[in-house]
Amino acid sequence: MTARAETPVSYSLPVGDSELDLSDACGRTLTLRSTGRIFCVHCNRITSKSYNQGYCFPCFQKLAQCDGCIVAPEQCHYDAGTCREPVWGDHFCMQDHVVYLANSSGLKVGITRASQVPTRWIDQGASQALAIIRTRSRQQAGFCEVILRAHVADRTNWRAMLKGEQVVLDMTAERDRLFDLCRAELNALQQRFGLHAVSVLTGVEPVSLSYPIQAQPDKLVSLDLETAGVIAGGRLLGIKGQYLMFDSGVLNVRKYTGYELELTLD
């Protein structure tokens, strides 16, 4: 789903060559049916199984965007000259990144390209977020994240996120607390790469986000299109992160990237 940072967040779902505005869908009956066809998001070939959220197996094996350093950016090997797609690396890894704190299932640290703010925060279902460091590359952001995650989580618990019970945090105070704990290590990174490459952000205001949710599901059951083939007649209660929240359970839409689905909205 694509999202716009409005109040609440506004969602759209790609349908063919257009997008379906889901802003008014909450409270209505939404049916999703898998046709059984899966397309690779890179080469568009039909594949029997999706890898890494949308790729066929050959693309999963050969593309730099499927390398392990994507989930462990501190392991980026672009500077070593061994990136399999250096042109892609120029456009993805060697760009300004933001290290941030988010309150999704509790306080967490994460990184994203500067151009993906606030989209990344919305995708994680964050109710609060704060950019705390700006770097000149993905690897530098990864180094910062490694330092900070010794003191704060770096993953979102989707069940806790969807329950919507997050305590409002003083994000500025949390940032300052972490900076105090990690000052020596962050200073060492700045000495290594330069202040222009690892910039600590202290004048940025926290962002608050809300989502279109009418009610919470009675049970946070994860719905699976792979086994069910169809989610029929479910009343859409809300949308948060990349989850559709039905009265029968919740569906992680991103999990089905590349899947051909038939949609009916009553």
CA distances from 7 to 23, 100, 114, 122, 244 (A): 11, 21, 22, 12, 18
Q: What is the DSSP letter of 4?
A: E
> Could you read off the pLDDT of 117-168 as tens digits, one per residue?
999 999 999 999 999 999 999 999 999 999 999 999 999 999 999 987 779 9
The residue type of 212 is P
Provide the residue ranges of all domains of the chain, joining segments of one domain with +.
2-54+212-265, 57-208
- Report the 10 Å Cβ neighbour count for 54: 21
Percentage above 70 pLDDT, the chain: 98
89 phi, psi to nearest 5 deg = -60, -35
Could you tell me which residue, 25 or 56, shows the higher pLDDT? Answer: 56
Task: Give how far the C-alpha of residue 17 lies from the chain's centroid of Cα atoms, to the nearest Å.
Answer: 23
> Could you read off the pLDDT of 160-219 as tens digits, one per residue?
999 877 799 999 999 999 999 999 999 999 999 999 999 999 989 999 999 999 998 888
Question: For residues 105 and 165, what is the distance between their CA atoms, to the nearest angstrom?
Answer: 8
The contacts of residue 253 (CB under 8 Å, 6+ apart) are 1, 13, 242, 243, 244
Instruction: Examine the pLDDT at 233 and tell me if it is beyond 80.
Output: no
Structure confidence at residue 54 (pLDDT): 94
Structure confidence at residue 262 (pLDDT): 87
Averaged confidence pLDDT in the chain: 92
Instruction: Examine the pLDDT at 232 and tell me if it is beyond 70.
Output: no
Cβ neighbourhood burial of 38 (10 Å; 0-12, 13-18, 19+): buried
Which two three-digit tokens encode residue 229? Answer: 């083939």
pTM of the entire structure?
Answer: 0.93
The partner residues of 110 in beta bridges, in order of sequence, read 100
Q: What is the DSSP letter of 260?
A: E
